[in-house]
Amino acid sequence: MKKLISNNLKIRLRTVVFITIGWIFLGVLNIYYNHLVRLSQQAFEFNDYELETVLVTNAFAVFIGGLVGGSLMIFFLKDKLRRFPLGLVIIINTLSFILIIALVSILAFVFYYWLLAGPSYFDGDLWFNLEQFIFSYAFLLNLIVWTVISTTTMVILQVNDKYGRGMFLDSILGRYHTPKHEERIFMFLDLKSSTTIAEQLGHKKYFKLLNRFFDDVTKGVIESKGEIYQYVGDEIVITWKMNEGLEGANCVRCFFEIERIINKKAYKYMEKYKLTPSFKAALHGGEVTTGEVGTFKKDIVFTGDVLNTTSRIEDKCNEFGAKLLVSADLVAQLQLDGEFEAKEIGNVELRGKQNPVKVYTISRCFVGEEQLEDTEGALNMA
């Protein structure tokens, strides 16, 4: 049964909520700071100044601004500007939010006086006071403060996308400053016949194909709660924390979700590149050491035999004509629940390994909406 809300949408909505809550918190801090400054100077900008009214007004304004601005960032600007230079992203973001902040500030001003004076205020000096407010120092300062906050938020989102979801916060908190042991699952996913495709398309067009393919793969990774660890040429290394990868067989589901997405868009690939990308992958899990490395360019890396073994298993896909190979150790921990079928291949000699490793191939046996969508994609391609 198809999910009502995709994991990608859940993540986006959750991010909008976090942005809104964070902005409200910063807004309240800003109001208390201004209040203390006014008290110390014993000068109020408005005679009818009331802290509670200002707090309510600003909380309302920032709530609206957070929902509108956060949604604009997450559902439009972040995706549209992803391929732009960071400097241009900052400029476009700044101009967009200057307009939004100005409009929200004006609405907050009107709402503030409505709370103080009631509906009768609209029969009086609304337009005169509004004009004074727009050309006041307070309006300019508010515009500058919130433009800086919104631009910083966008930069954080862009950096988080660059280094992986959650990695930016982990770096700030120093979570991996000291190496730690983790149980993780890894998938090595490789584009088939990449050399031949590159020769057919030429390097520039091949790069565009690869970029589009990676975008579609990312959607499947997000839906299965995975993280993209790194890109190595035409290969993607995907990882899960052990419990998240095993939950609902997410690590296996990821492969077939990517396959579904590619099949659904097969006709678009055919229109532009005269081919549909195919791929193979391997899954394995175990203990790795995770830590931060580098001096001038820092990165968070995983080390351990798990990665080498996964890579070696992936090398065997062509030999056995398999799309997906999974180690026996991981299969033993998976709950496939009749949706997926595991078939034993047997013990396989892996390059660089002293002992053979038992592997399985996994296929999807569930007939439902997903397979119907695959069929529709194939018909569209035809």
CB burial of residue 87 (10 Å; 0-12, 13-18, 19+): exposed
With beta carbons less than 8 A apart as the criterion, state whether 304 and 261 touch. Answer: no
Complete DSSP assignment for 244-308: HHHGGGHHHHHHHHHHHHHHHTHHHHHHHHSS---EEEEEEEEEEEEEEE-SSS-EEEEESHHHH
Kindly state the percentage of the chain with pLDDT values over 90.
35
CB burial of residue 186 (10 Å; 0-12, 13-18, 19+): buried
Mean local confidence (pLDDT), 216-228: 91
* pLDDT at residue 328, as a whole number: 94
Tens digits of per-residue pLDDT, 107-147?
777 776 666 666 555 555 666 677 777 777 777 887 888 88
Residue whose structure tokens are 């569930």: 366
Distance CA 154, CA 161 (A): 11
Judged against a pLDDT cut of 80, whether residue 297 lies above it is answered with no
CB burial of residue 353 (10 Å; 0-12, 13-18, 19+): middle
Higher pLDDT, 37 or 336: 336
Please give the C-alpha separations between residue 268 and each of 134, 198, 208, 272, in angstroms, as whole numbers. 50, 18, 13, 6
∠ Cα 97 101 107 (to 5°) = 150
Cβ contacts of 173 within 8 Å, gap of 6 or more: none
Q: DSSP label at 6?
A: -
Number of DSSP helices (H) and strands (E) in the chain, helices first: 16, 8
Mean local confidence (pLDDT), 51-75: 77
Distance CA 57, CA 115 (A): 8
Distance CA 71, CA 153 (A): 12
Residue whose structure tokens are 């709370």: 115
Q: DSSP label at 350?
A: -
With beta carbons less than 8 A apart as the criterion, state whether 219 and 11 touch. Answer: no
Kindly state the percentage of the chain with pLDDT values over 70.
77
Q: Which of 141-150, 164-173, 320-329 has the lowest mean pLDDT?
A: 164-173
* pLDDT at residue 116, as a whole number: 61
SS3 157: helix
Distance CA 73, CA 155 (A): 11
Q: Which tokens go with 212?
A: 């589009």
Cβ contacts of 307 within 8 Å, gap of 6 or more: 186, 237, 288
Q: Which tokens go with 191?
A: 């584009």
Pairing relation of β-strands 357-364 and 340-348? antiparallel
Distance CA 14, CA 6 (A): 12
Mean local confidence (pLDDT), 76-93: 71
Distance CA 309, CA 290 (A): 17
Q: Which of 42-56, 99-113, 328-342 has the lowest mean pLDDT?
A: 42-56
With beta carbons less than 8 A apart as the criterion, state whether 324 and 362 touch. Answer: yes
What's the whole-model pTM score? 0.72
Judged against a pLDDT cut of 80, whether residue 305 lies above it is answered with yes
Distance CA 79, CA 37 (A): 40
With beta carbons less than 8 A apart as the criterion, state whether 50 and 89 touch. Answer: no
Judged against a pLDDT cut of 80, whether residue 237 lies above it is answered with yes
Nearest CA to 189 out of 161, 155, 166, 220 is that of 220
When the pLDDT of each residue in the chain is averaged and rounded to a whole number, the result is 80
Residue-level length of the chain: 382
